[in-house]
Structure 1
Amino acid sequence: MGNENKISTKETLKLNASQANQINQVNQANQTTKNVPFGNYVLVEELGHGAMGKVFKAYHRYLKRYVALKIPTNLGQDDLQRFLREAETMAKLRHPNIIHIHEVGSYNNQPYFTMDYIEGQDLSAYYKKNTLSTRQIVQLMIEICQAIFHAHQQGIVHRDLKPANIMMTVDQKPIIMDFGLAKNFNENQKLSQSGMILGTITYMSPEQAQGKNRKIDERSDVYSLGVILYELLTERAPFINGSSFMLLHDIVNRPPIPLREIKAKIPKALDNICLKALNKKPKDRYQTAKKLAADLQSFIEGKNVNAKAKKSYKSVLYQNQTLIRVLLMVFIPLIFALMTFAVVHYRSKAQYYSSQNLKNEKILRENFNFEGKVTTTIPMSDDFDILKEQYQFLQKCDEINEDLHKVALLSLPSAQKIKEKLLHICISAHRQKIKDENERKKQQKKAAKRIQELYFLGIHNARSLQILTEYLYGRKYTYAKHVDIKDKQIIKIFQKATQKNPNHGWTQLRYGYALVHSNKDRSGLEIIKKALTKANDEDLGWMHFNFAECYEKLQMENEAYQQYNIAARTGNDNIWLYYKRASLIASMNNNQYDKLAMSEWDIVYKKMPNWELGDYHAYKFFHFYIHYFLKKEQYKKALEICDMQIQVQGWMYEPHFLKGNVYLKQKNHTLVKKCYEKAIDMIVNNKQKDLANAGRIMSIMQNYLSSK
């Protein structure tokens, strides 16, 4: 029957390098496994495999029963230790909801262990196929929490809790499996280094996502239990961003969306329980799985639960009345003293400026040739000489800006008329026909900024508000910086512009866009829908694109995908659209993901010769598909895109770094070294060493090169 022995952990750990090679050979020989003899067992079929091992359905020839038999794959010494540690961990646990281990042994130098064979399906498949009531979900989670608490009592943290690692038996009993990443706090383990991220990202706690393995304890499992509860109740994970990097960022930094915002029928008490388990700080979660189970049991029994919603400011004020009274007694006299000083100071300044009134008005008259008359409108002439003369007026206003504001603040009789005339000239300057596009944008930006200043001095009309919304929309929501006014003020400006320009589609769209992106206000969607009915045909493509971004901001993926498709059909032929649509497909975990992603690539590949590919949008698109083909192990395709990016964005170091990563996957170390050295040279020559991302990448490459 072959060379079969029962082995102890210590004996197995003594396997030398040649025996490890034999393990790999056995694994390769068993690629196709069906009714293969294996010592006292017959391997019936493969149930699954992962990075650490394969699991087979096996039949014990003498005991006449089925078991699950696990063998390691492609093992080094550390991997072998993990494999045997998993067996030791399972042997310490005796609970009806935790899988039981039967035997640890070896056959022809192939380590293995056997455990219960469970008829059923994992929780991920089970809840998709069955409609579970809230009560059934809570009762199921109570059983899982009690089993995990048993493991914690033995000093064991699972570290990879997820629906795929929980089997549901035919009688609907949950069984926790796969302790391959479990951590035993009673032993000195050195297999996980600080900074190494272990587990499945979607279900990781923030401390796991940051690679802080020394800080992982039973509260990390509590967080994972919270994620499972959240997913069962809402049918989605708390965080669903497309890329792994952004998903890790969201887990560490973003609060989860309250469950009742996704499904209003979820009871508030259950919402509070789940959100407490998902707290970013371990000290703010349930401290044990038992306490989480107890709160869930209280919910089922209709009792009060310990988890509470975050306190409102009113309750905080009520609980700190004494402290607030003391602070008021201190600060009210201080504020009164400061106000008195300000009034005295202002009066002295006003007296000084009053003495300068005639001088200031003389300066304005000399520079502006202003005679105290202004029409309600100034003709928007296309004559360049007239516009140039008007714009010189605006430049002079910049030169003596301080004097202009003195006049405005002192409310001189002519100040209001000067500001009105200045507003009309700003509008005229914004509409200049300057052949040099860069110069035209520069002058438009300057005019729009002046219109913004005049708005806050109380001077505006319909056209100026339209220009102002275009300026703020572009700078705040396209470039996401440079605007120093609050979101509430922006929305008020957009709202007023919409009222003044009720038939201008773009103005209405900007108002709706601002509502969604500032406050996640869904009323913005209805405003955008109305804006689309007033749009010109040439604007529809971009307007649908912005509509899709709003749906994406509200995490309404299907609606966003539909709008991106409409944008593509209505003339938005832009690489940024295809990148955004491909990223959205990835975040949706769509069953058609591979087909759709390849379709996006084929479209863009055909259109590339007609596009300018040197910008940020193309950079994002290239990187998305380099990582996509890397993940699919289509290395030749990934290298083609790297070369394509190097050709059109030759000043960037990133494509050389990514190309090195592709060669690293192919184990072509000569070309890896060449690509990494090229990327390092570019970082140094472009003086990018101080950038955080460039510094991190440079450290990775230098560590690799020094090891070779």
Structure 2
Amino acid sequence: MSTELEPEDWGDELAPGTELFHGQYVIERHLRSGGFGITYLARDSLQRRVVIKECFPQGLCMRPSRAVRARSRTYGAGVSTLIQKFVGEAQALARISHPNVVRVHQVFEDNDTAYMVLDFIEGRELGDEIAEAPLAPREIRAALLQLLDAVAVIHDSGLLHRDISPDNIMLDTQRRPVLIDFGAARDTLPGDKRPISTVHVVKDGYSPQELYVQGAEQGPWSDLYALAATFHHLITGEAPPNSQLRLAALATGAPDPYRPLAGRFDAHPPAFLAAIDKALSVLARERIQSARDWTARISGESLPQLRTPSQPLAPTQPVPKPLAPSPEPRLMALARAVAGVAAVLALGAVIISTV
């Protein structure tokens, strides 16, 4: 029997004891909420622990009962499209098999929304780990190489994660980093101009400047910025400056508030630090363009070919062609406009926009 509480006594999240998918899963507790969805710890019909991600774009949805509803008719079509994309991307993620990427076991629809069933990773969030004790340089390098290989596989499958940060990386019981929470994932196909409402999650210090801009081109270089920001935090104890503040400084001719790592931390090889600095370049065209390029820079291997941002990654095209992102005059103009407001961007901000 379900022990579900009434919505007014609980909130947007489902209550412990709620059954999903004809009783195959039972919610144990709420884990976290984000701009794209709500994550739960649950048990399956064999009493195994799993993690369930619910498609629930905040700001667009509400839960008057168990079912999820758009907040207004204006958002109705957009919410339906987001649910369809959630299902499609879960199916794409389920085809990824990598030890450093959380596995997707099932996707199903219930309560007028969609759910993704993932592995339960026994361990700790990287953010919690580094808050207590810094990782040793050798462990940092090993973790980065593993995650770069994982990100390369994700990008080869035609997906972007778009939310890499210390709280979306788990260290399992063997101290192996595992990339989790693909609620913000999207395909890399450019030119999707359908008139739908969309939700962007940006995290102060971790999100590249293009994630703040509706319609700006995103690509593997966007995930690499976030990964570099995460490892900047591992090395220095803090995230780099907000990318919008950095872009505004660049537009106005002020000094970049970012302090390069190279030359400041003798425990790490210079090439290792320089690669992180390169991946953290404000302008996308100046960053490292692929995870394999980054791996080569710190492992001494010959550089692989890169891809042009105008070409989508596809499973049949795992080794892309070398070109840099196109010039960004529109971003520079935008930077001048945001210079006065960038400082108010908050951690974990959710930007809701309609194209």
Global fold match (TM > 0.5): yes
What is the aligned partner in structure 1 of residue 160 from structure 2?
157
- Residue in 2 that maps onto 1:64: 47
Aligned to 1:43: 27
Choose from 214, 217, 221 the match for 1:215: 217
Match of 1:52 in 2: 36
Query: Residue 136 in 1 paired to residue 139 in 2?
Result: yes
Judged with a 3 Å threshold, the aligned counterparts in structure 2 of structure 1 residues 190 and 171 are, in CA distance, closer, same or farther, namely farther
Question: What is the one-letter code of the residue matched to 1:217?
Answer: G
What do residues 361-416 of structure 1 show as CA deviations (whole Å, max 9, x unaligned)? xxxxxxxxxxxxxxxxxxxxxxxxxxxxxxxxxxxxxxxxxxxxxxxxxxxxxxxx
Distance 1:305 1:133 in 2: 27
Amino acid corresponding to residue 143 of structure 1 in structure 2? Q
Deviations along 1:37-67, whole A, 9 cap, x unmatched? Answer: 3322221111111222221111112x23111
CA offset digits 1:76-115 (Å, max 9, x no partner): 3244234334423422322121111112223454532211
1:194, 1:212 within 8 Å by CA — same for their partners in 2? no
Corresponding position of 2:99: 96
Q: Which residue of 2 aligns with 1:181?
A: 184
| 1:614-647 Cα shifts (integer Å, max 9, x gaps) | xxxxxx9xx9xxx79x99xxxxxxxxxxxxxxxx
- For 1:108 and 1:131, the matched residues in 2 are separated by 42
- 8 Å CA contact 1:286, 1:292 repeated in 2: yes
Q: Which amino acid aligns with 1:268?
A: P
Residues 108, 235 of structure 1: alpha-carbon distance in 2 compared, 3 angstrom cutoff: closer
Other structure's SS at 2:258 match: coil
C-alpha distance in structure 2 between counterparts of 1:220 and 1:78, whole Å: 23
Residues 145-164 of structure 1 show CA distances to partners (whole Å, capped at 9, x for unaligned) of: 10000011111122221111
1:496-517 CA-partner distances (Å, limit 9, x unpaired): xxxxxxxxxxxxxxxxxxxxxx
Tell me, in whole angstroms, the C-alpha distance in 1 between the residues paired with 2:9 and 2:297: 46
- What TM-score results when the alignment is normalised by the length of structure 2? 0.67
- Partner of 1:259, secondary structure, is coil
Q: How does 1:312-461 map to 2 (within 5 A)?
A: none
Kindly indicate whether structure 1 or structure 2 has the higher relative contact order, using CA contacts under 8 Å at least 6 residues apart. 2
Q: Which residue of 2 aligns with 1:604?
A: none
Asked whether the 8 Å contact 1:196–1:213 carries over to 2, the reply is: no
Change (3 A) 1:41 1:30: farther
AA paired with 2:152?
F
Structure with greater Cα Rg? 1
Question: Displacement, 1:191?
Answer: 6.6
SS at match of 2:232: helix
Q: What's 1:550 paired with?
A: none
Give distance in 1, aligned partners of 2:83 and 2:250: 31
- Give the corresponding residue for 1:80: 83
Q: Provide the rounded CA distance (Å) in 1 between the counterparts of 2:186 and 2:111.
A: 30
Q: Which residue of 1 aligns with 2:15?
A: 33
Note closer, same or farther for the CA distance 1:111–1:229 as it changes in structure 2 (3 Å cut).
closer
What's the secondary structure of 2:115's corresponding residue? strand
Q: Which residue of 1 aligns with 2:75?
A: none
* Runs of 5+ consecutive residues of structure 1 not aligned to the other structure: 3-23, 307-619, 632-708
Shift of 1:214: 4.3
1:112 aligns with 2:115: yes
Change in CA separation of 1:148 and 1:193 when aligned onto 2, cut-off 3 Å: farther
CA offsets per residue over residues 215-260 of structure 1, 9 Å max, x none?
21111222222212222111122216xxx96466358772621225
Relative distance call for 1:249 and 1:164 in structure 2 (3 A) is: farther
Q: Report the 3-state secondary structure (helix = DSSP H, G, I; strand = E; otherwise coil) of the residue aligned with 2:19.
A: strand
Cα gap change, 1:183/1:147 in structure 2, threshold over 3 Å: closer, same or farther?
same
User: Which runs of structure 2 are paired with 1:162-241 in the superposition (5 Å)?
Assistant: 162-186=165-189, 189-190=192-193, 198-209=201-212, 211=213, 213-239=215-241
Q: Deviations over 1:502-553 (max 9, x none)?
A: xxxxxxxxxxxxxxxxxxxxxxxxxxxxxxxxxxxxxxxxxxxxxxxxxxxx
User: Of Structure 1 and Structure 2, which has the larger fraction of its residues in helix?
Assistant: 1
Contact 1:201 1:247 in 2 (8 A): no
Q: Does structure 1 conserve the Cα–Cα contact (< 8 Å) formed by 2:51 and 2:117?
A: yes
Aligned residue for 2:205, secondary structure, equals helix
Q: How has the CA–CA distance of structure 1 residues 149 and 26 changed in structure 2, closer, same or farther, with 3 Å as cutoff? A: farther
**What TM-score, normalized by structure 1, do the two folds share?**
0.35
Counterpart contact for 1:123–1:167, Cα < 8 Å = yes
Native 8 Å contact 2:108 2:115 kept in 1: yes
Secondary structure of 1:106's counterpart equals: strand
Q: Which amino acid aligns with 1:46?
A: H
Correspondence for 1:249: 248
* Residue 138 (structure 1) shift: 0.8
Decide which moves more: 39-48 or 256-265.
Answer: 256-265
Secondary structure of residue in 1 paired with 2:202: coil
Native 8 Å contact 1:82 1:180 kept in 2: no
* RMSD between aligned residues: 4.0
Match of 1:148 among 145, 148, 151: 151
Which residue identity is paired with 1:47? Answer: L
CA–CA separation in structure 2 for the residues paired with 1:119 and 1:64: 16
Q: 1:305 to 1:234 in 2, by over 3 A?
A: farther
**What is the deviation of 1:172?**
1.0
- The aligned counterpart of 2:324 is none
Q: Distance in 2 between matches of 1:202 and 1:276?
A: 16
- Give SS of 2:163's match: coil
Q: Aligned partners of 2:170, 2:263: CA distance in 1, in Å?
A: 30
Per-residue deviation, 1:27: 11
Which amino acid is the alignment partner of residue 293 of structure 1?
Answer: T
Q: In 1, Cα distance between the equivalents of 2:227 and 2:19? A: 39
Q: Structure 1 residues 174 and 274 mapped into 2: Cα distance closer, same or farther (>3 Å)?
A: same
Contact 2:40 2:53 in 1 (8 A): yes
Q: Write the distance in 1 (CA, Å) between the matches of 2:7 and 2:198.
A: 32
Equivalent AA in structure 1 for residue 48 of structure 2: R
SS in 1 for 2:87: helix
Query: How big is the shift at 1:125?
Result: 1.1
Q: Which amino acid in 1 is paired with 2:185?
A: A
- 1:166/1:176 contact within 8 Å kept: yes
**Counterpart contact for 2:108–2:116, Cα < 8 Å:** yes
Structure-1 separation of matches of 2:111 and 2:272: 53
Residue 272 in structure 1 maps to residue 274 in structure 2: yes
Residues of 2 paired with 1:126 and 1:99: CA distance?
19
1:188: how far off? 6.4
- Summarize the Cα distance change of 1:193–1:40 in structure 2 as closer, same or farther, 3 Å threshold: closer
Deviations 1:589-629 (A, max 9, x none): xxxxxxxxxxxxxxxxxxxxxxxxxxxxxxx9xx9xxx79x
Conserved? CA contact 2:36–2:199, under 8 Å: no
Call closer, same or farther: CA 1:25–1:45 in 2, change over 3 Å: closer
